[in-house]
Amino acid sequence: NAGVTQTPKFRVLKTGQSMTLLCAQDMNHEYMYWYRQDPGMGLRLIHYSVGEGTTAKGEVPDGYNVSRLKKQNFLLGLESAAPSQTSVYFCASVRGLGTDTQYFGPGTRLTVL
């Protein structure tokens, strides 16, 4: 199993550009999450999905959109990037039963100039 993978690993954008971050998991997990982590801070939840075709807002959803068209993929979109979105983005997934643990991807480091 590859676990949770994220594409790309690094990206530099100019203000106003758009991009999509891809999260893929091969563990047949039901639930998937997108977090962002700013320097010196813990992770904050952006959006999450409790199953294929469903999405929900987390703590800091503004400026982001998500889609879960396939169970194994969870996409995070930035329609018009802003410098405040410079961060490291982590994806996570969990099977969804009881106290199952979350598995995290390696992260995507995004810089918006």
Nearer to another protein, 17 or 103 (CB): 103
Nearer to another protein, 63 or 104 (CB): 104
- Determine contact, residues 100/94, Cβ cutoff 8 Å: yes
* Interface pattern 31-50 for another protein (x via CB under 8 A): x-x-x----xxxxxx--x-x
Closest by CA position to 90, among listed 71, 110, 70? 110
Nearer to another protein, 17 or 72 (CB): 72
Distance in angstroms (rounded) separating the CA atoms of residues 79 and 41: 25
108: which residues sit within 8 A by CB, 6+ positions away?
6, 7, 8, 9, 10, 11, 21, 88, 89, 90
103 binds another protein (CB under 8 A): yes
- Given the rule CB under 8 A, which residues bind another protein? 4, 30-31, 33, 35, 40-45, 48, 50, 58, 88, 90, 92, 94-107, 109
